[in-house]
Structure formats: structure tokens, C-alpha cells
Amino acid sequence: MLKSRKEPGDVIIGLEVHVQLNKLNSKLFCGCSPKYHDAEPNTHTCPVCLGLPGALPVLNEGAVVDAVKVALALNCKIEERTLFYRKNYYYLDLPKGFQISQYDYPIAIDGKISVNGTGGGERHIRIRRVHIEEDPARLVHKGPIECSRYSLIDYNRSGVALIEVVTEPDLRSPKEAREFLNVLRNILEYLDVFDESLEGALRVDANISLAGGTRTEVKNISSYRGVEKALLFEIVRQKNLVRRGIKITQETRHYDEKRGVTISLRTKEEEQDYRYFPEPDLVPLGVCNRIDDIRESLPELPDTKRQRFVQQYGISEYHAKVLTSELRLSNFFETVASEIDPILSATWIADVLKGELNYRGLGISAFPPKHMIQILQILRGKNITEKSAVQVIRTILDRGGEPADIIKQKGLIKVEESTIAKAVAEAIKENPAAVQDCRNGKNEALHFLMGQVMKKTHGRADPNIVNKLLKEKLQCT
Amino acid sequence: MITKRDVEHIGWLARIKLTEEEKSKFTEQFNSILDYFERLDEVDPDVPPAHNISGLVNVFRADVVRGSMSRDDALDNAPKKEGEFFKGPRVV
Ligand SMILES: [Zn+2]
């Protein structure tokens, strides 16, 4: 493990990650559905989540179980007694004038997870706390945030269960912050507590400073992809100020995703202004007696699965890491590996298919595992070349279709050895100079002749056979 | 001791505009409330804080949907609305 020592020029980043528990059936304190994404505005509300007078919150047990799952997966210590507080601030997205959150007694503290450090090696990122809170409503601004004159409010999101994961300031680069979020997102996906594809599922506030300098808080980074960009922008901004001798002011800045810049929000609220006080309508929570049951219900987590893949399938550490980086991808691999040699499967899925998916911005769900099995079976039967197999994968991703049909339509079945032999004889006859060079031991000439044969066979000849036949004919080694 | 500046800050936190007259009136009132609370100084400080007086712990509801209000009902009490939304001033 590399020490998280602070050196001059270093950047220091701490994250507050808000995760929507959007797989729950109901909101945190009321029976409204949290599935607001396709809903008409203001159709998922009730007196509790609209903050009407006299309405009383009652805690969703499922949210507590989910929060404990996450805390355990992040290696946190679950607190014996945990309390809800009112966090007071006046904003349109909070119908009650306060947000029910946790403060002095969060549900869990002192966790850690390891990520790949920027300079190679593993870095342990400490988790300060995990707490439960309610999501504010969604505001719809007319135009950009700093010049809109009024806001429209959709309270469907008001009261949706969130957990907030707060790290210590242990991250040393925007890339590391992104890597941390990838690891966290992957764990959350394995735990089946959230669906990251939903808008707003994961939102990040980042504290950032140059070593020894004043820190700023960048709020409202609404995608994990935006984090690296927002942090890079903020570091450059701070460095420019330092270079020009201007003092960095401690402030909250808003990240404008569309323009890729951070903007000062000129807020004067500070921690003490939130006037936290215990929420009198909710009783204390003590979940220690349930930890063992919840721990036993935890699914296999990415780290454990990665180790199992290496042991059970004999695949490389690198392939195991890639294949476990997404739950669906790991399931895909296991389906294919149950039919096909696991090492061959790992190579084709992690190196080829994943690359083709990334290139197209697609997820693994875009490719049926049965197609991968079919392609690898045909490839293993030496009926198509590796190059053709890649072509089949690309065609399925771009246009769809069945592997067998695509192979037939594109004429990808490997050519017979007799056909290759004919092409070899032609190539030798047409290129006497190259033949001479080849006999004189020039390797490039052999490659040239191979290329000629491949051309004549439309790339469908097995390169090994071409190589073998050419060498036999030319009697060169 | 609450000063006029504290009152101005509290007014800002609540997004309420205060007149000069109100500011001095509230400064006086806040201070008399605080004076009243000073009586608490007479209490033995070794008593642990009571976060909740009911003595209950772990009151839950099961994670089931109970249905929501109609949008018309929800918007009925809104002082300002626009189409299907509540409407409010921009706050920074
Ligand atoms: Zn509700």
C-alpha cells in the first residue's frame, strides 16, 4: 500500500456520494413510490413528503437494511445507536424547511475500500461515515441556474431514500476519485440496492484543495463520469489563482455539466447555520442485533468474486478484474465459461467483446451470451478465423443477427487447405523477387507473401496454415 | 448575547426581509428568550442528553407502496403553480 502522504503540489480530494436506494418499493418515510423517473410531475406525493402540517414520518425498514448492507460491504463499523436529525435550510426543494438526515450518530463509521492508485499499486481510501437521509425534490429551472428568475418544483423525488457515503480526504487525483466511484458503484450494483442507469441515482459533492491551500466544495456533480471533469476544472482554476497570487476563497461551487465549468454560488451558509437538532418525530435506531443476519444475506462481492475467478477458472488476475468490474459482465462470463474453455472465454470477453462494447458506448446487455458461446464454438472448431470472429461480434453489435447467419452471409467460413495451397502457388509465381528475398532469409518478404495469400483468400485463410504452406514451398525457415 | 447582526443573519437564513424597526425589536425579543433559557444553567450538567423521550427504539414500516395523493389535491394548497408544477422564487 502506498502511503497517502501529502506533498507540495498534491491535490487533496474528499467525496460525499449520495446514492439513491432506488430499488426500494417506497420512499424513506412514507408509502409513496420512489419510481418517479417515468412519472408525471407531482403524482408521487402525500402529506409526509409534501411536508404538510401534522404529517408524521415512519422509517422504511428496507432502507435501513440496505444502508447496513452498504456499510458492511464498505467495511464500516455499524453504530449501536443511531439518530435522525433535522438539517435546517430554506430552499424550494425542501417542503418542510429542513431535511431529515443524520448528524452526530450516523448508522456506520470508519470503513475503507481499496482502489487502483494513480501511480500504480493499491490505495486504501478511508470511509468516514455512511448515513441515511431523504432526497430533496427536483427543481426545474427555466434556463441556466444563475439566470433563471423562478423555479418549478416536482416533489416526486422528495423523500426518496438516500445514503450518503463520505470519504476521508484520501484521494489524490481526479482519476483516483473516478476509480473510487467505479469501485463503489460496482459494490452497490452487486448489493442490488440501486440501479445506476436511472437519472440522479448517484450524485457527488467533492471537497478539493491543493496541499496546504483553502478547500472549495463542488456540488451537484450528477454523474460519475462528470466527476473527473469537474475536479480537473477546479484544480486548474485553483492553480491559476495561486499562480496569479490570488487567495482561494472557501466557498461552494456549482458544477455546470453542460459547460464543464464550476460556478461560485455565493452562499453564506456554513455548517452551524444548518442548526441540526434531533428529529423528535423519529425514535432512535439500534440495528446491532441484526448485523449477523444481514451480513449472511450479503451476496458475493467484487473482491471475493475476483479471487474465485482466478482460482476456479485459472484465468489471469487482470482478466478476473475486468470481468468482475460489472456484475452483469461477471454473470455473462460465467454463462459462457460453463460451455467453453474459461481461458478462451475470458480472453474473448475481456479483451475483444469489452473493447468493442466500450468503443460503442454499450453495456454487456447489448450482446446475448448464447451468441458468444456459438461464436467460440465455431472458432474452436477451426471453421472461422479469429479475424472473422471479431467481424461477427462487430456485426451483431452494429446490426444484430445470429452468428451462423452472419458467417454464411459474409462467406466467413474458413477456406479449405487445398484452396490455400492454390493461392500460395499463385503468390509464389507472381512475386519472384519476394520469393528470392525470402529464400535469402528476409522475414519481411515472407510477411509480404502471406499478405498476398490472405488477399487472394479474402482474409479467410487460417494464417497458421498459410505460414506452414509457404515455408514448405519455399523451404525457408 | 444576540446582536443586530445575528438577527440579520437569521433573517437571511430564513430568506425573510427585515425592516430596521423589526431588527431592533427581534434583537430585544431574542435576548429575552435567551435570558429565560439561562435558567437551564441551574440543572445538573451530568444528566445525559435526552434525544427522545418516548423510550421507543426501532419503529419501522414495511417497504410497501401505500399510494399517493392526486396531483390536483397536491397542488390545491400551493400559493403558486404552473401547469403540473409548484412554482417558487429562485433562491440562491
Ligand atoms: Zn409521500
Q: Give the DSSP letter string of A333-364.
A: HHHHHTTS-HHHHHIIIIIIIHHHHHHHT--G
Chosen from A60, A92, A283 to mutate, greatest number of chain B CBs within 10 A:
A283
pLDDT at A328: 92
CB A24 within 8 A of CB A34: yes
* Chain A environment of B57 (Cβ under 8 Å): 283-286
Pairing of strands B60-61, A59-60: parallel
Order the strands of the B85-89 sheet from edge to edge.
A138-141, A150-154, B85-89, B81-82
The predicted pLDDT at position A1 comes to 41
Q: Label residue A183 by pLDDT band (50, 70, 90).
A: very high
Contact B51 A284 (CB under 8 A): yes
What letter would DSSP give residue A195? -
Distance in Å, CA A161 to ligand 1 centroid: 11
Look at residue A99 and give its three-state secondary structure: strand
Residue B63 touches partner A, C-beta closer than 8 Å = yes
Average pLDDT over residues A346-371: 92
Q: What is the pLDDT of residue A91?
A: 85
**Rounded CA gap, A156 and A33, in Å?**
8
A60/B60 Cβ within 8 A = yes
Say yes or no to pLDDT of A3 above 50: no
How far CA A432 is from CA of A189, A429, A435, A451, A465, in Å, comes to 61, 6, 5, 15, 21
Dist CA A161 CA A31 (whole Å): 12
β-bridge partners, A285: A82
Minimum-distance CB partner of B85 among A89, A146, A154:
A154
**DSSP letter string, A125-154:** EEEEEEEEEEPP-EEEESSSTTT-SEEEEE
Q: Are A29 and B65 in contact (CB under 8 A)?
A: no
What secondary structure does DSSP assign to A416-473, as a single string? PHHHHHHHHHHHHHH-HHHHHHHHTT-HHHHHHHHHHHHHHTTT-S-HHHHHHHHHHH
CB contact under 8 A, B71 and A42: yes
Q: How confident is the model at residue A62 (pLDDT cuts 50, 70, 90)?
A: very high
Decide if B58 contacts A107 (C-beta within 8 A): no
Model confidence pLDDT, tens digit, residues A280-290:
999 999 998 99
Q: What is the mean predicted confidence (pLDDT) over A46-71?
A: 95
With a CB cutoff of 8 Å and minimum separation 6, the contacts of B11 are B17, B18, B23
CA distance A211 to A434: 63
Q: Which of B59, B65, B84 sits opposite A33 (nearest CB)?
A: B65
- Looking at the DSSP bridge assignments, the partners of residue A59 are B60
Pairing relationship of beta strands A202-210 and A161-167 according to DSSP bridges: unpaired
Q: Give me the pLDDT at residue A266, please.
A: 65
* pLDDT band with cut points at 50, 70 and 90 for residue A449: confident
pLDDT digits over B62-84, tens only? 999 998 999 999 999 888 999 99
B52 at the A interface (CB within 8 A)? Answer: yes
Element (H, E) at B37: helix B20-37
Q: How far apart are CA A295 and CA B68, in angstroms?
A: 34
B78 at A interface, C-beta within 8 A: no
Give the integer Cα–Cα distance in Å for A140 and A92: 11
pLDDT above 80: residue B90: no
Instruction: Place A439 in a pLDDT band, splitting at 50, 70 and 90.
Output: confident
Q: Which range among A1-5, A327-331, A373-377, A461-465 shows the weakest confidence by mean pLDDT?
A: A1-5
Instruction: Count CB atoms within 10 A of the CB of residue A364.
Output: 19
pLDDT of A196 higher than 90:
no
Residues in contact with A301: Cβ distance below 8 Å, sequence separation at least 6, in sequence order: A73, A187, A190, A191
- Cβ-contact A29, A21 below 8 angstroms: no
Look at phi and psi of residue A253 and say left if phi exceeds 0, alpha if psi is from -120 to 50, else beta.
Answer: beta
Query: Residue A200: what pLDDT?
Result: 85
Q: What is the percent of chain A with per-residue pLDDT over 90, rounded to a whole number? A: 52
Give the strand pairing for A261-264 and A138-141.
unpaired
Give the global pTM.
0.82
Looking at the predicted structure, is the pLDDT value of residue A267 above 80?
A: no
Q: What is the pLDDT of residue B49?
A: 77
Contact A280 B15 (CB under 8 A): no
Chain B nearest C-alpha distance from A120 (Å):
42
Please count the other Cβ atoms lying within 10 Å of the Cβ belonging to residue A396: 21
Band of pLDDT at residue A146, cut at 50, 70 and 90 = low
A283 to chain B, closest Cα gap in Å: 5
What distance in angstroms lies between residue A398's CA and the mean position of ligand 1's atoms? Answer: 44
DSSP code, position B64: -
What is residue A85's predicted lDDT score, i.e. its pLDDT?
96
Partner-chain contact B61 A59, CB within 8 Å: yes
Chain B residue at shortest CA distance from A142: B90
The string of pLDDT tens digits covering residues A88-107 is 988 888 999 999 999 989 99
Give residue A268's pLDDT band: very low, low, confident or very high (50, 70, 90). low
Q: Name A252's bridge partners.
A: A217
3-state secondary structure of A326: coil
Distance A46 CA to ligand 1 centre (A): 4
- Taking the C-alpha atoms of residue B33 and residue B22, their distance in angstroms, rounded to an integer, is 16
**Residue contact A90–B92, C-beta within 8 A:** no
Q: What is the C-alpha to C-alpha distance for residues A373 and A352, in angstroms, rounded to an integer?
A: 14
Cα distance between residue A277 and residue A371, in whole Å: 58
Residue owning grid cell 404529517: A55
Mean pLDDT of B12-40: 91
What lies within 8 Å, CB to CB, of A440 at 6+ separation is none
Q: Do A283 and B58 touch (CB under 8 A)?
A: yes
Residue A332 CA to residue A371 CA, distance in Å, equals: 11
